[in-house]
Amino acid sequence: MKDLRKLYFKFLKFEENQYLKDIPFWFGVKGAKIKKEKIQEVIKNYKKESYLTFLKNLKDIIYSENPLNLVLKWSCDQWPSFYYLSFLKREGIISFKNGKIEVLKKSFFEIFPRPRKEEEIKEIIEKKLKMKLDLKGPANFPFGIKTIAQYDQLPISISSAIFIVKKILEYLPLNKKFLFVGDDDLVSIYLSLTEPKIESLVVDIDEDLLRKIKEISKKFHLKIETKKMDIAKKERLKENFIGFLSSPVYTYEGVKAFVNFGVNQFGNEGGYGFLNLGDEAIGSRILYLEKIFFEKNLKIEEVILKKVYYPFGITHPEDKIIFERLKKFFPEEMIKKSPLIGSSLWIFNYIPFKVPKPKKQPLYAYL
């Protein structure tokens, strides 16, 4: 890990030097008399990336089939990827052959969690559980765990859990500690079954759920720890985490509390947050949640719709009421095979340093 940190700081210096050489020739900046100190200030405030973002970008390159397509993944132009590729080639980490990357430092494949497709994740889990998965079924069913209504528990579908695992593996830069702020969906199990190298901690108020997660973890030799906790009464754990997943109560205060707790567990190296969020009682309050995300230095990487949902089931009194009302329009079996609730998956990149408010500059100054 020390070598990776040295590589990070070396890259920051390399990137700064390249920017200083190249920026004066860019559109909107060319010909302008901008002092070196001004450019360095912009680089420090708005171009610098966290250590974990650096590792995530390295991971993207290592597993990339075509580095020229990184602009789609990173939503940028070709300059940043060129800097990374040039730096990695200079450091003897990669080489190029017929337009393809050859990874010379094979240990990186052990360090960075491998991204996987949903079908691949499904096959891995089915093989380990020795059963076929009903993708539309609740995520807790394969493990024989029931939901508890008093904790507002309602499991997402198995396909949803697999999709979330896919996205975590896509973003997670290391096989280090990942935090689950509540986990009645058992995504911690799905994640660890897929990538056993990842270490996780599940905190939840439901002692019975934690006991069952611990039993499953022991059975399959997974690196999952559990801790009973009311997150509303505790702000900080004793260690830092590189990412967290939360599926909070879908209320303004619920989302605020769970996100605050998750962000408080990040250190000064950055981190990635995953938030499963449905609109049950939030509505236009989402604007104020977005303000909280901003205040917590959470950069929104993605908001994904239509992939995460809760299968139809009767858990709460209102579920039975809406079921009876829908029966007036649709066949009973059709309703039971439909989603009860749809949600969105928000993915955040935590920026661990202050980002100053941008100063006024010319409209076309790409600096």
pLDDT, position 263: 97
Same structural domain, 127 and 266: yes
Crossing angle (nearest 10°) for helices 78-90 and 51-62:
80
Q: Is residue 204 part of a domain?
A: yes
Same structural domain, 143 and 92: no
Same structural domain, 101 and 216: no
Q: Let me know: does 29 contact 365? Beta carbons within 8 Å.
A: yes
| CATH code of the domain containing 201 | 3.40.50.150
Task: Please report which residue ranges of the chain form alpha helices under DSSP H.
Answer: 2-22, 36-42, 51-62, 70-74, 78-90, 108-111, 118-129, 158-171, 187-194, 207-219, 252-263, 286-295, 317-326, 332-336
Same structural domain, 182 and 165: yes
Report strand pairing: 178-181 vs 200-204: parallel
The residue out of 78, 111, 144 marking a domain boundary is: 111
Same structural domain, 159 and 213: yes
Task: Count CA atoms closer than 13 A to 77's CA, side-chain side.
Answer: 3
Q: Is residue 359 part of a domain?
A: no
Q: Is residue 355 part of a domain?
A: no
| pLDDT above 70 as % of the chain | 96
CA distance 173 to 354: 22
Low pLDDT (below 70) residues in the chain: 1, 27-32, 146-153
Q: Is residue 53 part of a domain?
A: yes
Same structural domain, 84 and 123: no
Same structural domain, 312 and 184: yes
Same structural domain, 319 and 182: yes
pLDDT, position 151: 46
Q: Is residue 315 part of a domain?
A: yes
Domain that holds residue 86: 2-111
